[in-house]
A and B are shown apart, each in its own frame.
Chain A
Amino acid sequence: MYFNIKKPHWVALGLVVVVTLVLLKLPSRTAAQVKLAISSLFLPLFGLAGAVQQGVDRAGQALAPRQHLLQELEQLRRENVLLRARVIQAEEIARENARLRQALGWASQMPWRLRLARVIARDPADWWFSLRIDAGLRQGITTNCPVLSPEGYLVGRVTAVGLEQSQVVLVGDPDCRVAVMVEETRDTGILTPSSARPFDNVIVELRYLPGNSALHAGQRVWTSGLGGIFPKGILVGTIVDFRQVDFGLYTEARVKLAARLSALEEVYVLLP
């Protein structure tokens, strides 16, 4: 066989254009699986980086002064006593809640099942807010599982699940819209990315609130449970300011997120 290619640059360009088009036109499910398969090549390096980080943390802990550790221990003991009392109180309230639900014939709420996962990578592209965690199908995680910060604030949702890793889109990403409710007014709206794109992704926009909504700065915003992905009652953030749009038909507010998304090292995934 004899090939004589006089213009290899143009041939290579054509080949790459074809490869790009084929990849871009893959069905979303197939593309997600291919992406997860390729990104699993990084798992050994992610594991290595995590081990190094843990080693550094342990070294730092070993160097902590004894006086500081004793103070922290004492503080944690006091906090533990306080939390035990609150758990007893919460258990009593839960029992009462269950009795009342039974009396009214309401369906009982299932307790949350949480799975701790470590953040192993962040999106290298600046125009998305997503990260990767070291838990996947083997740990019981499925697509659309809500993700919380260690403090219990909303972080985002799982969009793609591999065997040992998952991709999480954060609140503020165009792919993560959340149905929320203002605590005092009980008005519901939808969280969308901020059009102003502030630094560090701490501000998002709350849209489609009623025009006569009695908002004020500092009100807390929780998930409303509408939409079917995020359960009701997860703290999202607090209202910073608001304005009326469309000749007073709607109100829009800016919400400061409670979770520090740029500083996440571990997250909790709400299992179904």
Chain B
Amino acid sequence: MRLVGAWSMGLVAGGLAAGPGAPVSRTVLTMNWFHTLLLLVAAFIAVFVSATFNGLRWVAWAQVDLLPGLMVYAALNGGLVTVTLLAVAGGVLFDSVSANPLGASVLPLFAVGWVLQRYRRLILRTEVVAQWALGLAASAAVPVLTLVILLNSQSPPLLGWLSLWQWVVKALVGAALTPVWFWLFGRLDRALNYRPQTGTSFRPDREIKRGRQ
């Protein structure tokens, strides 16, 4: 099946999205199913932390959402399949521990990942400032898009002036944590992947031939 083949190899490796001749970073090239699995595990832990960590709630009356930052990382370093799987799994996991209708968080997460994945060639993804700015935009966009879905559903959420403050806090904290995802997965990548082969100093034209000619 060429569809599966293309998605699991070309797209996941970033080749199709970046174009055949475009330079692709080592991180993108080494992106494989194991990394996708790691991202899904990270999404699971991120949702668990969002549901159980109350520190920010007590300090700033807002809850941290780690998924948009993770989606930024996945969209810039993974393929379309990774982005899709992360959006569906992360969104469903988030909604399962929340009072959100099931599926309300899927499309907002995917929309952010979809846009970033589509235009990632134009983004300086290794720059911390770019990661921070993208994290800010993603963490601000996901709650707004989710609210748009909720306001059009049968269960309108509780909104007020406090919601504006919570939105700002959520965006800023999400932005601050986005480079952490890049750092964390960079460390994991270095720890779990093969080192790139270093160039050899051997030159055949300088080889000393021993023995009689």
Find the B residue at minimum CB distance from A53. Answer: B52
Identify which of A26, A38, A198 contacts B93 (C-beta below 8 A). Answer: A38
Name the residue on B nearest A2 (C-beta): B2
Q: In the complex the two chains form, is A39's CB within 8 Å of B96's CB?
A: yes
Cross-chain contact B1 with A126 (CB below 8 angstroms): no
Chain B interface residue count: which class?
Answer: 35 or more
Do A262 and B44 touch (CB < 8 A)? no
Q: Is A127 an interface residue (CB 8 A)?
A: yes
User: Is there an interface contact between A195 and B84, defined as CB atoms closer than 8 Å?
Assistant: no
- Residue contact A121 to B52, C-beta cutoff 8 Å: yes
B80 within 8 A of A: yes
B31 close to chain A: CB less than 8 A: no
Question: C-beta contact mask, A55-67 vs B, less than 8 Å → 1, else 0?
Answer: 0000000000000
**Interface: B87 (CB within 8 A):** yes
Size category of the binding interface on chain A: 35 or more
Q: Which A130-185 residues have a C-beta within 8 angstroms of B?
A: 130, 132, 159, 167, 169, 172-175
Complex Cα–Cα for A84 and B6 (A):
75
* Contact present for A12 and B84 (CB under 8 Å): yes
- On whether the beta carbons of B157 and A20 are closer than 8 Å, the reply is no
Within B1-21, the residues touching A (CB, 8 Å) are 1-3, 6-7, 11, 16
Partner of B97, one of A17, A123, A198: A123
Chain B proximity mask over A17-38: 1 for CB below 8 Å, otherwise 0: 1011111101000010011101
Interface of B is mostly: helix
Q: Are A31 and B101 in contact (CB under 8 A)?
A: yes
What residues of B have a CB within 8 angstroms of the CB of A21 in the complex?
103
What residue of chain B has the Cβ atom nearest to residue A16's Cβ?
B110
Cβ-based interface call for A46 (8 A): yes
Interface positions of A (Cβ within 8 A of B): 1-5, 8-9, 12-13, 15-17, 19-24, 26, 31, 34-36, 38-39, 41-42, 45-46, 49, 120-130, 132, 159, 167, 169, 172-175, 193-200, 262
Q: Which 9 A-B pairs have the closest CB atoms?
A: A197-B160, A23-B103, A127-B157, A124-B50, A38-B96, A128-B99, A121-B51, A3-B3, A39-B96
Known: A3-B2, A26-B102, A126-B63. 9 other contacts (CB 8 A): A12-B80, A13-B114, A23-B103, A34-B96, A123-B63, A123-B98, A124-B47, A127-B157, A128-B157
Q: Residues of B at under 8 Å CB distance from A? A: 1-3, 6-7, 11, 16, 44, 47-48, 50-52, 54, 57-58, 61-63, 65, 80-81, 83-84, 87-88, 92-104, 106-107, 110, 114, 117-118, 143, 146-147, 149-150, 153, 155-163, 166, 170
